Amino acid sequence: MSYCRLLTRTSRPCISSSFLSSRIQRPSILLRTMTTAQEGKGTKTFFTLNTGDKIPGVGLGTWQSKPDEVRVAVRDALLAGYRHIDTALAYGNEAEVGQGIIDSGVPRSEIWITTKLDNPWHKRVEEGIASSLKDLQTDYVDLYLMHWPSSSVPEDLMKHYDDWTFIDTWREMQKLVGTGKVRNIGVSNFVISNLEKLLKAESTTIVPAVNQIELHPNMPSPKTIAFCKEKGIHVTAYSCLGSTDSPLAGDKTLGKIAEAHGKTPQQVLLQWGLQRGTSVIPKSVTKSRIEANFQLDGWELTPEEVETLSSIKDRFKVCGDSWLPVRVFFNEEGDGGDVPSH
Ligand SMILES: NC(=O)c1ccc[n+]([C@@H]2O[C@H](COP(=O)([O-])OP(=O)(O)OC[C@H]3O[C@@H](n4cnc5c(N)ncnc54)[C@H](OP(=O)(O)O)[C@@H]3O)[C@@H](O)[C@H]2O)c1
């Protein structure tokens, strides 16, 4: 089945049945109830979101990709077969990402674009999406995420608005649905307790379609994945290779499994992510790596290998929360502020 056909456009916000039954008194915009589902393997993996839209399992990440490099990287990725690009207003490269998409010649309708609302824009959601759409040179994004559950005062990024929480931000993001500017809305860096707060809030009428979080064998977060699954929220794994200068690449357990398959450690990490039911968005600006990271077909890990990688004991976290005005990680499953970065 072609990517084009899989990127169906029947999307509508959806509220899960368990959520709905407890919130039945609310004015609801429920059109149908769906749980997330996975189909296909390797680069042909798609996940059906709670809205009915299908997100491609493998995307290109673009954090820290410099504007001059990212245009070519995005073009190369699309020409190699990727159909999912992950960016953010905060990355400062949306314009070049948009240009790379145009340069590739791949029709917009075949590409899944995710971008994110930056923290200083939480009170200006409409302006935030307008800025992203303008830079990306597109009329809509497939997925719009609240980048962090933390708003910042634009003039002082370490200051949080006293009169605003992520629940207010989500209320405003919900208003975008139906405008044609976003196909799906979701969150990022949400731990279980913050998701519970969001789902319980009176103003919440839409269950996030996606929660994008840091996931790799040194930060596997099984409880968050299980919670999201139960609520019908798809999980995307960021820093899925362990990010820049990743110590994971030299991990012995990973190395042995990679050797057994005749694959690179990075390919094994991506397959691990997909086989755990998460989409993966490896970042690279190196053409050979972009192509290698998309060679995931015709092989897979055994369930035992997936488990072995999930059980690696060392912990590290790429993205902490000390740079934010409020804490967002509460050590619910070893993801607190005391986890070392690498
Ligand atoms: N929502 C959030 O808060 C959040 C936070 C972090 C990341 N993200 C998203 O997730 C994406 C991925 O995470 P990430 O950028 O932290 O890191 P990552 O994808 O885990 O790792 C990227 C690093 O791995 C290198 N690399 C890529 N493929 C390789 C290969 N086959 N062999 C050896 N090295 C390889 C890249 O180098 P080169 O580029 O030099 O090739 C880069 O240094 C981001 O780009 C972004 O889109 C989201």
Q: Does residue 294 fall inside a structural domain?
A: yes
The reply to whether 91 belongs to the active site is yes
pLDDT digits 0-9 by tens, 99-132:
999 999 999 999 999 999 999 999 999 999 999 9
Helix axes 67-80, 94-104, angle to 10 degrees: 30
Q: Does residue 92 fall inside a structural domain?
A: yes
Q: Does residue 161 fall inside a structural domain?
A: yes
For residue 116, the ligand 1 atom closest to its alpha carbon is 1
Whole-number Å distance, alpha carbon 239 to ligand 1 midpoint, is: 5
Are 243 and 318 in contact by the 8 Å Cβ rule? The answer is yes
Q: Does residue 26 fall inside a structural domain?
A: no
Nearest CA to 61 among 329, 308, 298, 270?
270
84 labelled ligand-binding: no
CA torsion, ordered 321, 240, 243, 307, to nearest 10 deg? 90
Q: Which backbone phi and psi does 45 adopt, to 5 degrees?
A: -75, 135
Q: Does residue 163 fall inside a structural domain?
A: yes
For residue 86, the ligand 1 atom closest to its alpha carbon is 47
Q: Which backbone phi and psi does 68 adopt, to 5 degrees?
A: -70, -25
Q: 18 falls in which pLDDT band (50, 70, 90)?
A: very low
Q: Does residue 12 fall inside a structural domain?
A: no
Q: What are the strands, taking DSSP E only, across the chain?
A: 37-39, 46-48, 54-56, 60-61, 84-86, 112-117, 143-146, 185-188, 210-214, 234-238, 279-280
Alpha helices in 137-281 (DSSP H): 166-174, 192-200, 222-231, 252-261, 265-275
Say how far apart CA 133 and CA 94 lie, in whole Å.
9
pLDDT for 112: 98
Whole-number Å distance, alpha carbon 246 to ligand 1 midpoint, is: 9
pLDDT for 36: 72
Catalytic residue (one of 91, 140, 161, 238): 91
Q: Does residue 36 fall inside a structural domain?
A: no
Share of the chain above pLDDT 90, in %: 84
> In which domain, by residue range, is 66 found?
46-311
How many structural domains are present in the chain? 1
Which amino acid would we find at residue 313?
K
Q: Does residue 319 fall inside a structural domain?
A: no
Whole-number Å distance, alpha carbon 12 to ligand 1 midpoint, is: 31
Compute the residue count for the chain.
342
For residue 290, the ligand 1 atom closest to its alpha carbon is 28
pLDDT digits 0-9 by tens, 25-70:
333 343 334 567 999 999 999 999 999 999 999 999 999 999 889 9
pLDDT for 29: 43
Instruction: Classify residue 27 by its DSSP letter.
Output: -
For residue 149, count CB atoms less than 10 angstroms from its CB and return exposed for 0-12, middle for 13-18, buried for 19 or more: buried
Strand partners, 61: 86, 283
